[in-house]
């Protein structure tokens, strides 16, 4: 696993996430403040705790591509 810090400006957030999701060799990301709640519309499945708190820390791609 390799972690690469990415600085995404708030007004480019949606564009950046769409671009990252389009990469076929990108398996996931760690989400930091202020984007923990803002990332939710981009996940295909949400774990129960993420639903409960309305935010996530990690987004990963499963084998099925979701």
Both structure tokens of 38: 């803002």
Give the Cα separation of 28 and 30 in Å (integer).
Answer: 7
Model confidence band, residue 63 (pLDDT cutoffs 50, 70, 90): confident
Fold category of 10-60 in CATH: Rossmann fold (3.40.50)
Count CB neighbours of 43 within 10 A: 15
Give the Cα separation of 6 and 27 in Å (integer).
Answer: 15
pLDDT at 1 over 90: no
pLDDT for 44 equals 94
Residue ranges of domains in the chain: 10-60
Give the Cα separation of 42 and 59 in Å (integer).
Answer: 9
Question: Is residue 28 left, alpha or beta, with left meaning phi > 0 and alpha meaning psi from -120 to 50?
Answer: left
Active site (annotated) includes residue 66: no
**Which tens digits make up the pLDDT trace of 9-56?**
999 999 999 999 999 999 999 999 999 999 999 999 999 999 999 999
**Which tens digits make up the pLDDT trace of 44-62?**
999 999 999 999 999 999 9
Catalytic residue among 21, 36, 52, 66: 36
């Amino acid at each position: 696993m390799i972690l690469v810090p990415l600085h995404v400006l708030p007004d480019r957030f949606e564009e950046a996430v769409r671009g990252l999701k389009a990469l076929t060799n990108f398996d996931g990301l760690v989400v930091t403040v202020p984007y923990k709640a803002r990332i939710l519309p981009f996940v295909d499945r949400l774990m129960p705790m993420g639903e409960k708190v309305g935010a996530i820390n990690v987004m990963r791609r499963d084998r099925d591509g979701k």
